[in-house]
Amino acid sequence: MSNKALKRGIAAAAAGLMAVTALAGCATDSGPQTIRVVAAQYTDDMQAYYDDLVTRFEEANPNITVEVEVVSWNDIDQKLKTMVQTNDLPDIGNLNYFSSFAADGLLYTAEELVPADVLADMVPTFIENSKYEGTAYAVPDLASARLFFYNKDIFEKAGVTEADIATWDGLVAAAKKIKTAVPDVVPIALPLGPEEAQAEFMIWANSNDGGVYSNGEWTIDSEKNVETMEFLADLVAQGLTNPTPATFDRTSGAFALFSEGKAAMLNGAIFLPGVLEDNGSTVNYGFTNFPTNRADGKSITLGVQDYFFGFKKDGNKDAVQKFMSFIFEPDNYAGFLKAAGGFLPATVSAGEAMSSDPALAPYIAVLPNAVFYPGSEASWPAVQGEMQQTIGTAVTAGADIKAILAAIAAKAE
């Protein structure tokens, strides 16, 4: 899958999207106002996207000034938490959770955030994931799924095939062959650093019949999750991964290593092909379903959904809704997806326009087997934050895995 193919599909989607609400030509009747947006930095292109978007929005709405701050994924969680704690609320936030803000009564409902026709165009599953206690308090901005990437040339040198890595046992055997045949590469890149440790943990845990939340209960320190971390710790101990997963991040670590041809396998995001292309990588790669250790033999994927949400402030609702509606206008939303680097769209119309794109089809195909973050639980942000900082220590030699998981589980209380 190439980034160019993704960009072509996204650009084509703009022409095929259903029309959404047009913005009124002027802003509010209450006079000039300013709204602030704290947005996630999916790629280095996001600030330029928002700069152009804001320029055009302000031309159509001269009484509304929009200030957008694009913040890296390493910092945006703490940024928004601090703004809430200091009562310095932005008007719009963009993050991979929202429920803790909803639980504190800080957010507009989705019905207040965007016009009815925009809301009706959202993928129903994603809107369900946007609910807290039965009410949607956010709207999805995009979604993604994961596949397992591998270096075809390294596999050929080691005598390994894609079919060999369908299960955990097969994965270990393949990694050992790679370590022997191509000793200068990392068989499995394992990023458990702060950037996205929660995602790496969840896909491995759920691939072992574990996970963080099930049937209304937190299951973070379950025996299945302990078993998963013991498995990963054993991979590290055998030298089948990078040596220090706890400080090894996804983008700067795993993706970079794979891009350089120095890692044979990794859990890959939907935008990894674009990263490889942008880095000028010549890696001959393939991708397949994530290796499984589930009793039913089914391979799962991690479905990641991010959100836009609006903070309730006196007099800002009209401006917030107008800007959110502007983002989801067809051309603007296609531009958002393109700037973000290639993701699954959050709207039905965009999905229909892009469903024939061969670059996206493999990810759409695995979505029925996706597990999602428990974003509707108000304590998930605290759990996620603790997991990002500490789960990587569980794979170090001599670590008390049960105690580390229990400490993370305590954040759910």
Spatial separation of the C-alpha atoms in residues 407 and 405, rounded to whole Å: 5
Range of the domain at 342: 3-143+305-362
Q: Are residues 172 and 42 in the same domain?
A: no
Q: Are residues 351 and 217 in the same domain?
A: no
pLDDT (tens digit per residue) in 373-389: 998 898 998 999 999 99
Q: Are residues 48 and 69 in the same domain?
A: yes
Spatial separation of the C-alpha atoms in residues 105 and 98, rounded to whole Å: 11
pLDDT (tens digit per residue) in 272-294: 998 899 899 999 999 999 999 99
Within a domain: residue 367?
Answer: no
Q: Are residues 216 and 248 in the same domain?
A: yes
Q: Dig out the tokens for 57 from the structure.
A: 């929005």
Confidence class of residue 20 from pLDDT cuts 50, 70 and 90? very low
Q: Are residues 187 and 198 in the same domain?
A: yes
Residues 6+ apart with CB under 8 A from 406: 221
Spatial separation of the C-alpha atoms in residues 387 and 362, rounded to whole Å: 29
Confidence class of residue 203 from pLDDT cuts 50, 70 and 90? very high
Mean predicted confidence (pLDDT) in 251-268? 97
Predicted local distance difference test score (pLDDT) of residue 376 = 83
Predicted local distance difference test score (pLDDT) of residue 15 = 38
Q: Are residues 330 and 229 in the same domain?
A: no
Spatial separation of the C-alpha atoms in residues 402 and 278, rounded to whole Å: 41
Q: Are residues 290 and 342 in the same domain?
A: no
pLDDT (tens digit per residue) in 154-187: 999 999 999 999 999 999 999 999 999 999 999 9
Overall domain count for the chain: 2
Q: Are residues 272 and 404 in the same domain?
A: yes
Detail the DSSP E strand segments found in 64-145: 64-71, 92-95, 131-132, 135-136, 139-144
Q: Is the pLDDT of residue 23 over 50?
A: no
Confidence class of residue 30 from pLDDT cuts 50, 70 and 90? low
Spatial separation of the C-alpha atoms in residues 366 and 146, rounded to whole Å: 8
Mean pLDDT of the chain: 91
Q: Are residues 18 and 98 in the same domain?
A: yes
Within a domain: residue 371?
Answer: no
Query: Alpha helix locations (H) across 313-398?
Result: 317-327, 330-340, 348-354, 361-366, 380-390
Within a domain: residue 254?
Answer: yes
Q: Are residues 296 and 161 in the same domain?
A: yes
Within a domain: residue 172?
Answer: yes
Q: Are residues 288 and 174 in the same domain?
A: yes
Confidence class of residue 230 from pLDDT cuts 50, 70 and 90? very high
Q: What is the CATH number of the domain that holds 23?
A: 3.40.190.10
Q: Are residues 17 and 101 in the same domain?
A: yes
Predicted local distance difference test score (pLDDT) of residue 343 = 87
pLDDT (tens digit per residue) in 144-154: 889 999 999 99
Q: Is the pLDDT of residue 24 over 80?
A: no
- 63 exposure class (CB count in 10 Å sphere: 0-12, 13-18, 19+): middle
